[in-house]
Each structure stands twice: as C-alpha cells, then as structure tokens.
Amino acid sequence: MAELIVRNGMVYSEGRLHAVDLAVEGGAVEGWMNPGRGGAEVEVDAEGKWVIPGVIDAHFHCRAPAYPEREDFASGSAAAAAGGVTTFFEMPISTPGVYNGEVLRARRELAESVAHVDFGLYAAPGTLDPGDVESAAREGAIGYKIFLHGAPP
C-alpha cells in the first residue's frame, strides 16, 4: 500500500498523454499504474488534470531579513509552491551580504524556519577573501555569484 496515490492524472510520456495512477512513497513517485489499481493511505483525484514534475527556480530573490515587506522566505516560497516550484536557489542580494559562512548559516536557518519548499543558497564573496569563500563552501553554498564591480557597502 502506497503512502499517496494520485488517481486518474494525465502524464505525458512516449509522445502521448496517459491516464494513470501515480504511487508516491516518502515524497517521491514510486511508479505509475493503470487507473483503479492499488490502494493508499491518502488518495488525490486528479481526473482531467496534468501531473507534472515540480519546477526548480534557479534564480530566486529574497530581501529578508532587512526588507521583509518586499518578500520573505515564507511569502516567496508559498508563492513558488502555488506555482508548482518545489525547489528554489536563492541569489545573494540580501542585507547583510552573503559573503561568508557565518552569514550563509544565519540565512539558511532563517529560510529553514519558514520555507514551504526545498532550497539552496548562493554566496556572494564580495571581499574575495579566501577564508570567506571557503567558510561559505563549508556552510553549504551551492555556488557563488560574482559581480564585475565593487561590493556595495
């Protein structure tokens, strides 16, 4: 018995649409089957609806904590989820700038406390100090955004 079955969803594969039931276990699709087979703890009726993979937004901006009125991790990730985004990668334009591991860790903890979807964080090592770059890597930076101009104050 699956954890979740999405019943009668339309899935595009091999050049055409198929009406299928999708079995989900542990947050991942385990497989699909002809409609009406198998049981689950939870069932969702998707008749007439397309079932598509989640989207990854690789260029997400969040100004929190300095400017939460513009958007914060809770509101931005809720809007992302409503649009089918399951993961975002946040660009480092916040204040304070994400230039080292300490700032990245604080940013990750802030996002973890309210985000509705999975995420990764870029760093922006404006100081170009090797220690700052390395500390951000140790804290899990997924990459670095480097500008061709000086860092803002």
Q: Is the pLDDT of residue 150 over 70?
A: no
Q: What is the mean pLDDT of residues 96-121?
A: 96
User: Which of 120, 58, 132, 148 is closest to 96 using CA atoms?
Assistant: 132
Q: Residues 6 or more apart from 23 whose CB is under 8 A from it?
A: 2, 4, 5, 29, 30, 31, 32, 33, 38, 40
Between vectors from CA 134 to CA 62 and to CA 77, what angle results, nearest 5°? 20
For 42-100, what is each residue's pLDDT tens digit? Answer: 999 999 899 988 899 999 999 889 998 899 999 999 999 999 999 999 998 888 989 99
Indicate whether this model's pTM tops 0.75.
no
